[in-house]
Structure 1
Amino acid sequence: MEAFRFKHINNKEWNFLKNKNITEGLMKWSMLGRISVQAYCYDKHLGVHEAKDWVKEFLADTEVLSTLKVLSSSGSWCVLGAPAEAVSVEEVPCTETSLAMFDKLIDSGVVREDGTIRKCMEVWVGDVVLADELRKVRIS
């Protein structure tokens, strides 16, 4: 079987990263500047049974190794540079196709209609402080 070939798409614009709401969310979760979106294309059909080979070949491809940016332990961006030593692949089921499951949070009063989490009086459970309705739900 012939190996996959990958091409880095370096001129791709990511409009969602220009969205004010998204950048505010990234900043809120300390991810602004700590996330990178990159695009690659490959040259043949990928069957489900080939997923592990695809990942292994992707992380060993010379173009990928020289272009895929990763965040180093020191917090600076650098290219991957070396092939992965080991690869594992896990199928993620995609049975939910809507956000309706989150309606329960609104219906139960945990989240407001605008998406903000309702605060509450602080309650200590062991070493954890519960200061919003969502954390109270997780503990109970």
Structure 2
Amino acid sequence: SMKGRLCVQMFSFDQPFQSYQKDDFAKDFMKDPNVISNLRMISGDKWTVVGIPATSVTAEPVPCSVLSMTFFDRLTENNVVRESGHISKCFDEFCGEFTISDELRKMLLIDDSDNYCLYSDSEREEFLFRIFFHICLGGRFNQYEDEIQPYLDVTKQVYKDLIR
């Protein structure tokens, strides 16, 4: 259910910027007439233009210091993923709208699972981890992979496309 529900839009900014100004920048961005008339969002099953200025905005810095896919090697080192690349299965558990049938999703979603601590809170905030998280969980109608490599390949490609 991710197909047709993901969109990347790019806007240019040509003024000086300091990170301590992030909230003002985000607020000004969301009030800019060009952004308001072009920024799209999904509403139900249809894309629509935002069309109205934001009344309040909060910006959250996302660290982007992890640059290598070796970041995910610990999944294999800790048996979340087998040496063959197959994701280790587990008994079904439920977390919100997710049915968890493997150790990967359990590690991603359940904070008291045996493997949740493989990634610290600060590592989970990393841009690369966030992309991986969303790719692995998918949408409501996602059909999960049995092997890790497709998730890693798509994560790497999305990361490169967004950074570029």
Shorter-chain TM-score range: 0.5 to 0.7
Identity %: 39
2:51 equivalent to 1:81: yes
Amino acid in structure 1 at the alignment position of 2:7: S
Rounded to whole Å, the distance in 2 between the matches of 1:63 and 1:52 is 19
Give the corresponding residue for 1:54. Answer: 25
| Greater RCO structure (CA 8 Å; 6+ sep) | 2
Give the corresponding residue for 1:11. Answer: none
Per the TM alignment, residue 91 of structure 1 is displaced from its structure 2 partner at its CA by 2.6
Rounded to whole Å, the distance in 2 between the matches of 1:54 and 1:99 is 31
TM (norm. structure 1) is 0.63
Spell out, residue by residue over 1:29-71, the C-alpha distance to the aligned partner (whole angstroms, 9 max, x if none): x211001111110121211122111111110010110000111
After TM superposition, where is structure 1 displaced by more than 6 Å over at least 4 residues in a row?
none
Rounded to whole Å, the distance in 1 between the matches of 2:17 and 2:89 is 46
The 3-state SS of whatever aligns with 1:41 is coil
Rounded to whole Å, the distance in 2 between the matches of 1:32 and 1:123 is 26
Amino acid in structure 1 at the alignment position of 2:18: G
RMSD: 2.9
Rounded to whole Å, the distance in 2 between the matches of 1:82 and 1:114 is 51
- Alignment coverage as a number of residue pairs: 109
- Gaps of at least 5 residues in structure 1 are 1-29
Greater per-residue strand proportion: 1
Rounded to whole Å, the distance in 1 between the matches of 2:25 and 2:59 is 10
Instruction: Report which stretch shifted further, 32-41 or 109-118.
Output: 109-118
Give the corresponding residue for 2:4. Answer: 33
Rounded to whole Å, the distance in 1 between the matches of 2:67 and 2:57 is 28
- Gaps of at least 5 residues in structure 2 are 115-164
Rounded to whole Å, the distance in 2 between the matches of 1:118 and 1:59 is 43
Give the corresponding residue for 1:8. Answer: none
Rounded to whole Å, the distance in 2 between the matches of 1:36 and 1:62 is 20
